[in-house]
């Protein structure tokens, strides 16, 4: 019906499409519906032909698990909630929203407990914001590890969040002058506990009950999570249960034995919270089928926990020369940002790479520069430039 035999792509260099020309040599329309289709539905589902899915850690890990978002399939900057990456330390609890409460205690004048309905009466605020697990790309510390972009970079996702400003809620409780930290505790079986600097908590941190237009998904913390924009994902505590104002960090398991960065001299850096500038080319990328010769738009995602992406450069020769890619709007702070560059694959082997710069001037480093600064003992915060090698046969590989 639609075999390649009756279609050809020719190069003509025509404007934006940069030479993509489709010629039908035997145009035959697809079959059209001849009987009424399905009726309206109360809550829709994706098409039965769609199979994009998260990549899961092996089942033997049980409740301490992660799933990687299929980043190369993602269109636009909003990750579908069903495909948002996951990282759980005690599995996904089942919390009935009517039984939920949030306790704010510690160094406050008025310890208060809020139901979900109480919190929803505060002024609502919305923010499109990415999250990235600090363990994203951990395989790459030891050299090329992930077999595709889902494995190398799939621990980041971007959603439209709705909730209330934590500062408004804390104001109701009366934060004492000696408070310096906010200790957030999840209601999951792991009681995941993280310390948030109070200045950040009062700046742009949110209590979030909405994701992509509806209630937060169970695996994202239903019914309430913290959202600490730009900081490593695990600090945006899910299934939020208690907030304690404190004069010091709590030094929990998840900020001492885990989520610290082991340096070459054997010391560990703690509280390296902001996520650095990063980008990856999602198309072409490994595992997407061989490239066809001709026009191939290079497409990808860039992000930074420190603010807006201001520039993405793309190289097709492994980093010797760079060209500015086009950024697609809206370009929002601490958000996935789309970039693209018109390109033609001429069948010659090459190495593709992208480099992100953010509004603070933070530039995504080469692997050599990152390793020179931090060694290879680390597990977290790998943000080096990613290289994809394209072979003559159009296959793409992580190198």
Nearer to a copy of itself, 239 or 259 (CB): 239
Instruction: Give the x/- contact pattern for a copy of itself in 50-79, rule: CB under 8 A.
Output: x-xxx-xx-x--xx-xxx-----xxxxxxx
Q: First and final CA of the chain: distance in angstroms? A: 38
Q: Show the beta-strand stretches assigned E in 305-386.
A: 309-315, 323-324, 326-328, 337-341, 344-345, 350-358
Least distance (Å) from a copy of itself to the CB of residue 277? 21
- Is 32 an interacting residue with respect to a copy of itself (CB under 8 A)? yes
Least distance (Å) from a copy of itself to the CB of residue 103? 5
Question: Binding a copy of itself by CB under 8 A: which of 172, 287, 344, 379?
Answer: 172
- Is 46 an interacting residue with respect to a copy of itself (CB under 8 A)? yes
- Residues in contact with a copy of itself, total (CB under 8 A)? 127
In angstroms, the CA 46 to CA 73 distance is 14
**Residues between 88 and 147 with contacts to a copy of itself, criterion CB under 8 A:** 88, 90-101, 103, 105, 110-115, 118, 121-126, 128
Q: ∠ CA(232), CA(237), CA(242), 5° rounding?
A: 145
**Residues between 328 and 347 with contacts to a copy of itself, criterion CB under 8 A:** 328, 330, 332, 338, 340, 342
Least distance (Å) from a copy of itself to the CB of residue 78? 5
Least distance (Å) from a copy of itself to the CB of residue 131? 14
Q: If 0-12 CB within 10 Å is exposed, 13-18 middle and 19+ buried, where does residue 267 land?
A: exposed
C-alpha torsion 216→221→224→230, nearest 10: -90
- Is 177 an interacting residue with respect to a copy of itself (CB under 8 A)? no
- Is 84 an interacting residue with respect to a copy of itself (CB under 8 A)? yes
**Both tokens assigned to 186:** 């999840």
3-class secondary-structure state, position 88: strand
- Is 5 an interacting residue with respect to a copy of itself (CB under 8 A)? no
Nearer to a copy of itself, 78 or 363 (CB): 78
Least distance (Å) from a copy of itself to the CB of residue 158? 9
Least distance (Å) from a copy of itself to the CB of residue 331? 10
DSSP bridge pairs for 317: 351
3-state secondary structure 376-395: CCCCCCCCCCCEEEECCCCC
Do the beta carbons of residue 383 and residue 137 sit within 8 Å? yes
Stretch of residues binding a copy of itself (CB under 8 A), selected from 23-31, 193-201, 226-234, 365-373: 23-31
Q: Is residue 201 within a helix (H) or strand (E), and if so which, with residue range? A: helix 198-203
Question: Binding a copy of itself by CB under 8 A: which of 138, 231, 239, 303?
Answer: 239
């Amino acid at each position: 019906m639609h075999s390649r035999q009756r279609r050809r792509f020719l190069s003509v260099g025509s404007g934006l499409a940069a030479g993509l020309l489709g010629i039908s040599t035997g145009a035959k329309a697809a079959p059209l519906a001849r009987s009424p289709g399905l009726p309206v539905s109360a809550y829709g589902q994706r098409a039965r032909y769609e199979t994009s899915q998260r990549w899961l850690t092996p089942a033997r890990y049980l409740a301490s698990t992660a799933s990687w978002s299929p980043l190369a399939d993602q269109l636009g900057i909003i990750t579908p909630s069903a495909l948002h990456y996951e990282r759980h330390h005690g599995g996904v609890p089942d919390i009935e929203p009517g039984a939920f409460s949030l306790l704010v205690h510690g160094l406050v004048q008025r310890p208060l407990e809020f139901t979900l309905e109480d919190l929803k009466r505060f002024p609502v605020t919305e923010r499109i914001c990415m999250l990235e697990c600090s363990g994203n790309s951990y395989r790459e510390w030891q050299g090329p590890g992930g077999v595709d972009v889902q494995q190398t970079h799939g621990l980041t996702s971007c959603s439209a969040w709705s909730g209330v400003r934590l500062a408004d809620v804390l104001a109701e409780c009366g934060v004492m002058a000696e408070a310096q930290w906010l200790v957030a505790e999840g209601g999951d079986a792991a009681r995941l506990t993280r310390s948030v600097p109070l200045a950040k908590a009062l700046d742009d941190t949110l209590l979030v009950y909405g994701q992509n237009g509806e209630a937060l998904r169970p695996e994202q913390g239903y019914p309430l999570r913290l959202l600490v924009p730009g900081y490593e994902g695990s600090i945006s505590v899910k299934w939020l249960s208690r907030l304690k104002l404190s004069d010091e960090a709590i030094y929990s398991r998840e900020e001492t034995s885990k989520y610290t960065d082991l340096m070459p001299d054997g010391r560990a850096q703690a509280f390296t919270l902001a996520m650095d500038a990063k980008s990856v080319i999602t198309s072409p990328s490994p595992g997407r089928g061989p490239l066809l010769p001709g026009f191939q738009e290079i497409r990808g995602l860039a992000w930074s926990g420190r603010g807006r992406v201001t520039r993405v450069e793309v190289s097709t020769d492994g980093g010797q020369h760079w060209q500015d890619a086009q950024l697609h709007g809206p370009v929002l702070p601490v958000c996935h940002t789309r970039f693209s560059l018109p390109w033609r694959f001429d069948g010659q082997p090459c190495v593709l790479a992208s480099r992100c710069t953010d509004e603070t001037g933070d530039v995504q480093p080469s692997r050599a520069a990152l390793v020179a600064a931090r060694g290879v003992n680390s597990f977290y915060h790998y943000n080096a430039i990613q290289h994809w090698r394209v072979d003559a046969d159009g296959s793409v590989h992580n190198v």
